[in-house]
Amino acid sequence: MTRVVDARLTVDGTTRELPLERSTVGNDGVSVSTLLKDTGLVTVDPGFMNTASCESAITYIDGDAGILRYRGYPIEQLAEHSTFLEVAYLLIHGELPSEDLLAALNNRVARHMHVHEGIKTFLGAFPRDAHPMAVLSGATSALSTFYPESVGRGEHETELATVQLLAKTATVIAYLQRRVTGGDLIEPRKDGNYVDEFMRIAFSGPDGELDIDPTIRKALDLLLILHADHEQNCSTSTVRIVGSSQANIYASVSAGIGALSGPLHGGANEAALSMFDGIKESGDTVEQFVAKVKDKAEGARLMGFGHRVYKSYDPRGAVVKDVANKVLSELGGNDETFQMAQRLEEIALSDEYFIERKLYPNVDFYTGLLYSAMGFPRQMFTPLFALGRMPGWIAHYREMMADPRTKIGRPRQIYTGEVERDYTPLAER
């Protein structure tokens, strides 16, 4: 990529130099912060197609080359060699942990996995068929009220809130799985391994014992790693903008969970599986469904396809597809749906509509099939995404709060309403 040497903007015949912000790799930026003061103009960029909202040293994506790196480490290497808590430490603290530091994090998280009785009552107050993302968002915000000692900007509070969020949201999500499947809540143990303990709380019978299938454990750990961060996506930007008002981390992450729930973002994993089933129920062939998507008349999209940043194969999607292949053949999952998904991918990738728009499978296209094979019902797919994304949200909140240049997030607008008019009394309207 060639580097821009300078940037100038001419307004009404006057040319101004705009300062450049340099990246270590990837796109440099043109700073427009003083433009309003200097010219009276604002920049317009709906959907933030071309706006860098911050500097960040956490995650790098090259969407054209299909590259994703956490703190400089390629996702493929982390997926092969690392574990989820290790990746969480890396994202939050910037370096891979030593063995001692990792053991300390695991112990600390394990000790905090129990939740206050009030949280259990709170979870029980929602309708049984409430979508778990709504409950998770509410419960995450409520954590600040049960653990006020972890609310604050000091180092102690920040570390405590980090551990509380990793630990207690895992328990809440496991409890949500139990609620969806009709089981009673069981107590976390204080010395478990994070992923094992999550699975035990989610899946064990009333005696609290679970024989964990190593294939499932490994696949779940991997999925959590793949979801752990993705720079300034919709939910992370939400966490940052809420946190920029100095709202506490629980309120900020709760808002991020709301953003994640949408079908154009994390909710796409649930939507993709519903789409596969919808195709089967409709009796359409995959070719007919793809034709409907291209026609746009029915508003159908190929869920789990396309991405704002990736204009090539999502590197996470490639890993997930590979794992889905292995896990489904080992555990026996919904092979018919997997084959249909592969056929959809094949047709789309050779179709001019998708080629022209550079639409490829994203991480959500195959994950639902894997979660299903592991025994999670469809409503739990997006909460599992949230479990994986937790370290990313925490890392971004912390990075932003530690940066003295952080300002409250407050976009401008182009006003298009009435200019000014006089109030008409009610009787005269």
State the minimum distance, in angstroms, from the CB of residue 398 to ligand ACO.
Answer: 22
Q: Is 32 in the site for ligand ACO (CB under 6 A)?
A: no
- For residues 304 to 343, the per-residue mask of contacts with ligand ACO, x marking binding by CB under 6 A and - elsewhere, is xxxxx-----------------------------------
- Considering 230, 307, 314, 396, which one is annotated as catalytic? 307
Judged by CB under 6 A, the chain residues 97 through 156 that form the site for ligand ACO are: none
Binder to ligand ACO among 93, 108, 116, 301 (CB under 6 A)? Answer: 301
Q: Is 264 in the site for ligand ACO (CB under 6 A)?
A: yes
Q: Work out whether the CA dihedral 79, 83, 88, 90 comes out positive or negative.
A: negative
Residues 169, 152: Cα–Cα separation, whole Å: 19
Least Cα distance to 230 among 162, 345, 307 occurs for: 307
State the minimum distance, in angstroms, from the CB of residue 65 to ligand ACO.
Answer: 17
Q: Specify burial of residue 345 (Cβ count, 10 A radius: 0-12, 13-18, 19+).
A: buried
Residues 217, 219: Cα–Cα separation, whole Å: 6
Only one of the segments 151-159, 243-251, 263-271, 369-377 lies at the binding site for ligand ACO (rule: CB under 6 A); that segment is 263-271
- # chain residues binding ligand ACO, by CB under 6 A: 19
The secondary element (H helix, E strand) that includes residue 61 is strand 59-62
Residues 266, 304: Cα–Cα separation, whole Å: 10
| Nearest residue (CB) to ligand ACO, 36 versus 264 | 264
| Nearest residue (CB) to ligand ACO, 59 versus 150 | 59
307 as an active site residue: the answer is yes
State the minimum distance, in angstroms, from the CB of residue 374 to ligand ACO.
Answer: 19
Judged by CB under 6 A, the chain residues 197 through 226 that form the site for ligand ACO are: none
Binder to ligand ACO among 61, 68, 302, 324 (CB under 6 A)? Answer: 302
State the minimum distance, in angstroms, from the CB of residue 307 to ligand ACO.
Answer: 5
Binder to ligand ACO among 58, 91, 123, 293 (CB under 6 A)? Answer: 293
Residues 72, 101: Cα–Cα separation, whole Å: 20
State the minimum distance, in angstroms, from the CB of residue 360 to ligand ACO.
Answer: 10
- For residues 353 to 392, the per-residue mask of contacts with ligand ACO, x marking binding by CB under 6 A and - elsewhere, is ----x-x--xxx----------------------------
Q: Is 303 in the site for ligand ACO (CB under 6 A)?
A: yes
Neighbour count for residue 33 (Cβ, 10 Å): 10
| Nearest residue (CB) to ligand ACO, 119 versus 363 | 363
User: Are 104 and 352 a contacting pair, CB within 8 Å?
Assistant: no
Residues whose CB is less than 8 angstroms from the CB of residue 189 and which lie 6 or more positions away in sequence, other chains included: 110, 113, 197, 200
Binder to ligand ACO among 135, 253, 268, 319 (CB under 6 A)? Answer: 268
How many angstroms separate the first and last alpha carbons of the chain? 61
DSSP letters of 12-46?
Answer: TTEEEEE-EE--SSS--EE--TTHHHHHS-----G
State the minimum distance, in angstroms, from the CB of residue 264 to ligand ACO.
Answer: 4
State the minimum distance, in angstroms, from the CB of residue 4 to ligand ACO.
Answer: 23
CB-facing half-sphere around the CA of 135: CA atoms within 13 A: 28
Separation in Å, CA 174 to CA 123, 170, 188, 194, 349: 12, 6, 10, 12, 36
| Nearest residue (CB) to ligand ACO, 132 versus 304 | 304
Separation in Å, CA 61 to CA 107, 172, 232, 341, 352: 32, 31, 10, 26, 26
| Nearest residue (CB) to ligand ACO, 151 versus 309 | 309
State residue 83 phi and psi, 5-degree precision.
-125, 165
| Nearest residue (CB) to ligand ACO, 29 versus 368 | 368
- Considering 62, 221, 314, 364, which one is annotated as catalytic? 364
Beta bridge partners of 10: 15
Only one of the segments 180-188, 302-310, 328-336, 375-383 lies at the binding site for ligand ACO (rule: CB under 6 A); that segment is 302-310
State the minimum distance, in angstroms, from the CB of residue 361 to ligand ACO.
Answer: 9
Q: What amino acid positions are annotated as catalytic residues?
A: 307, 364
Question: Site residues (CB under 6 A) for ligand ACO?
Answer: 47, 264-266, 268, 293, 301-308, 357, 359, 362-364
